[in-house]
Amino acid sequence: MTAMPSAQHYVRLSGEEFRSRLREALDIYVEAMRYPPGTAEQRAPMWLTHVLREGWRSVAALDDEGRLVGIAYGYRGKPGQWWHEQVRRGVVEREGEQTAATWLDDYFELTEIHVRPGAQGRGTGEDLLRMLLDGVPDSRVLLSTPEGDSRAWKLYRRVGFDDVLRQYRFTGDPRPFAVLGRALPLE
């Protein structure tokens, strides 16, 4: 794996800018998550639909030539959304209605945050996370991440994310995931 230039600057992306860079963003996603070829084509329609959700926002890390090094986006989580319903079911089954209500009544879903593997370990992920969440009006932020020791886990713990649901299996993915959350705003 060749080291890439680190992020030189960060920008907020409008929906139009995000759509115009979708291929580049999905390439980072596939590479960072080690998904098989063809995954990007399956995910593209969903990512384009997410742009239309209430509270959607995105930030990008760019190298000195304007290429994407990292991408993050999310939106206001609500009942009826696939991820919300999956997480709610898991939390209710394991922790009860009250815990589900505490976490899922007013939250921002950090849907995707990825940095090219060759550019990881330089603070780009944390910069993206902080910029994305800056000014989010919701009282909490939630995300899901594959279980296991990774740079992502270290980042989430470092900025104060707690366990909401562990060893959870989302419909259609055999891997165990953790759902993590924390109060907003970040310090």
SS3 state at 117: helix
Q: Are strands 107-115 and 140-146 parallel, antiparallel or unpaired?
A: parallel
Written as six digits, the tokens of 13 are 């992306």
> C-alpha 113: how far from its chain's center?
4
- The type of residue at 1 is M
Active-site positions read 156
Alpha carbon 6 to its chain's center: 20
